[in-house]
Amino acid sequence: MKIAFLFPGQGSQVPGMGKSLYETYPQIKEHFEEANQILGFDIKNKIFYGTETELKETKVTQPAIFIVSSAIFKLISMLHPSLIKQCCYLAGHSLGEYSALHAAGAFDFQTALKLVEYRSLFMQESCEKFSGTMAAILGIEKSDLQKLCEECGDAHNPCEMVNFNAPGQIVVAGGKNAIQSLLEKVKKFPNAKGIGLNVSGAFHSSLMNEAAFKMKEVLFKSQIQDIKVPVITNCDALATMIGKEVKEKLAQQINHPVLWQDTIEKMIEEGVELFIEIGPGKVLTGLLRKIDRKKSVLNVEDPLSLKNLLEKQCA
């Protein structure tokens, strides 16, 4: 069976994520302690006991999700190594791409976590400098939505399509006024719906240009290895295995759209039969079912879902 591992991004965080796994499996306790040492503060405490508001802050959210996702992957690797050997592709949504690349061996845990920390800080700076937001738009064709974005935005107050998540679901990002104007126009479309997202900035839009530039400088000074299992990257939905290409694409990802539907369809075309979402929440599981309901998908975020995976795959 061809298996693909998927890793969630920002927005999947929930207070207490990973805590039950930490308490159940002592094998990953060292993972969280190492994360504290790398970052220089007690992020484990924020992950397990922080409020929803604390976890929403970009500079906390991104390292937290990466730490939990990579801990779960490490646990699966220990408990069912043959399952890892069946993996043919990996992919991660936005921040999750770092989790996917770490799982594929592009960089070790310390390097990955420091890169995520830089990414979160640069993006947080852009959020504070440029007031932006995001919204999910349902039930509008891409061409029609593009026209609305052009009507509502301009160079100083952009309105851009940034996440192509599933059929009929596109996320837009940009200046707060532009996004609000778009949401008003969406109401005039029959069967369409616009939902403002509870985020701190306009991720993957041109308002993140400075963050992308700074991140590129950091990435090109970092050790990123070639990998043996391809990662389908967000910015182009193509298989990537070369370290230098990984650097380029991770930089592009910050201020370019996430082609998630294309990413999943690419893996389906390549014969992937089972998708496994690793990390907090079931966002990617839900999106996959909208893209292709016939494909099998499991998620792992706690002891019960981990047990379910192991029982099904060991049967």
What Cα–Cα distance (Å) separates residue 65 from each residue in 14, 98, 204, 234?
9, 10, 18, 18
181 is catalytic: no
Q: How far is CA 184 from CA 159, 189, 193, in A?
A: 13, 10, 10
Report the distance separating Cα 275 and Cα 281, nearest Å.
Answer: 15
Across the strands, what pairs with 200? Answer: none
Its sign, for the CA torsion 183, 187, 191, 195, is: positive
DSSP 42: -
Q: Collapsing DSSP states into helix, strand and coil, what is residue 76?
A: helix
Distance CA 127, CA 125 (A): 5
Q: Which of 136, 130, 184 is nearest to 164 (CA)?
A: 136
Which residues does 236 contact at the CB level (< 8 Å), separation at least 6? 249, 259
Please identify which of the residues 31, 93, 102, 204 carries the catalytic annotation: 204
Catalytic residue among 12, 69, 70, 94: 94
Q: Where are the beta strands (DSSP E) in 35-131?
A: 87-92
In this structure, what token pair is assigned to residue 275? 């998708």
**Catalytic annotation present for 94:** yes
Task: Report the candidate in 309, 279, 273 with the shortest Cα–Cα distance to residue 72.
Answer: 279
**What residues are annotated to the active site?**
94, 204
